Structure 1
Amino acid sequence: MSDNILDHIAALRSFARALCGGREEAEDLVQETLLRAIEYSSTYREGTNMRGWLCTIMRNRFYTNIKKRRRENTGAEDCASASASTPGTQEWHIQGCELSKALQDLPLHYREAVVIVLVMGESYIDASRLMECDIGTIKSRVNRGRNMLKAKLGEVG
């Protein structure tokens, strides 16, 4: 595992998109995470899981932002720029949108586990440390999240 923050930006973007849903909000979250990581770089211990450390920072910023948003009314739901002007026409694009929507519809604790383990490729052990719960809980959340996704997408199995 690399100790260079820049090596983990792609994984952070994926995690941020899974948490936030919107691209702009996800990019802002990545930037906030990187700023925090630089600001608190003295707390990182060499040889530990850099990606896990960064994801923990991101997750904490995400929850802080949710708390802030509950207190603020920005009118973002009425913003016309948030809606797509033309839908994609390729089947793969539609399937990707369906998967993204199904992922966003999962309860947050299942979505986090699915993204960390299945999308980012972290081990169950690292995911349990990151999410601060037992490894059995992570395995259960990933399994249930995967089954919920299959049901939403109409897959059998």
Structure 2
Amino acid sequence: MSEVADLLPQHVPALRRYARALTGDAASADDLVQDCVERALTRAHLWRQPGNLRAWLFTIMHNLNANEKRRAASRPRLATIDEVPEPSRPSSQVERLMASETLAALKLLSLEHRQVLLLVALEGLQYAEVAEVLGVPVGTVMSRLSRARDRLMQLSGSERAAQPRSVT
């Protein structure tokens, strides 16, 4: 490892140039170089001597960049705040009132019910993912979610509005 550590600094400027060409961004290029150097130092025992260290480093960098591009392609693209459109119309007073009632009712749910409801409804996780996050079986997630939804409807007054009123 000491030989790689000794020879590595002379290759950093070339690595930075290549990283800049790959990424087109100075900050991303610096991150890529740092990842490459870290990978080279932790895997120095894999370098075949008297192999071409520069070629080995460029291979590491190329593979790191390709892996990152694959990961980025599989992730949804995040929109900047400037790209998010303004609502077409402001919410009405009734909608705001319903939203505040729902938020107040959400705070009254038990922690277990609130966790499941937020992970499924707000974060969009699948039941299996929620089960993994919380360390419970999928059936427990489904049960808690059903109870949480029922309780939330009771607390927010939605159930009262949905039930026919009796005439007295």
Q: Which has the larger radius of gyration?
A: 2
TM-score range, shorter chain: 0.3 to 0.5
* Alignment TM-score, normalising by the size of structure 1: 0.46
